Amino acid sequence: MADPGSVGHVFRRAFSWLPAQFASQSDAPVGAPRQFRSTEHLSIEAIAAFVDGELRMNAHLRAAHHLSLCAQCAAEVDDQSRARAALRDSHPIRIPSTLLGLLSEIPRCPPEGPSKGSSGGSSQGPPDGAAAGFGDRFADGDGGNRGRQSRVRR
């Protein structure tokens, strides 16, 4: 019969080709808390999405499983939850009227419909001056309209 100490080594070598989540290659005893590498922890964005309930079900389940094993990420989720509650309990956030005015002037574009060649031939999108006029309000004068202007001119 094989030595019990060598069985674990043979097992780890036999399954070494599997990803780590399927075959543990650590020497820690079964049931011991798992040690995570820094690249295996939840990102800041994933923690915020988890707290806000914005993850899809599969991602939520993976994150919840990770949180059940990782005290560091669980503490970060608790911190994020407290920050979220503090923001919700704070005074109402007010938007400056100048910003609200600028946002209300953004041209509304109808959804992309049939191409120009089909029924009617009307142009989809804002008139040529609308996109350029809004861009003039930004400090660099561009306003991020390079892509939009080239699409409108086609």
Annotated binding site: 66, 70, 73
What's the burial of 46, exposed, middle or buried (CB within 10 Å: 0-12/13-18/19+)? buried
154: nearest Cα among 115, 120, 119: 115
**Hey, what amino acid is at 17?**
W
Residues whose CB falls within 8 Å of the CB of residue 15, separated by 6 or more in sequence, listed in order: 22, 23, 25
Tell me the two tokens of residue 37: 């590498």
Binding-site residues from annotation for Zn(2+) = 66, 70, 73
Work out the number of other CB atoms within 10 angstroms of the CB of residue 152: 17
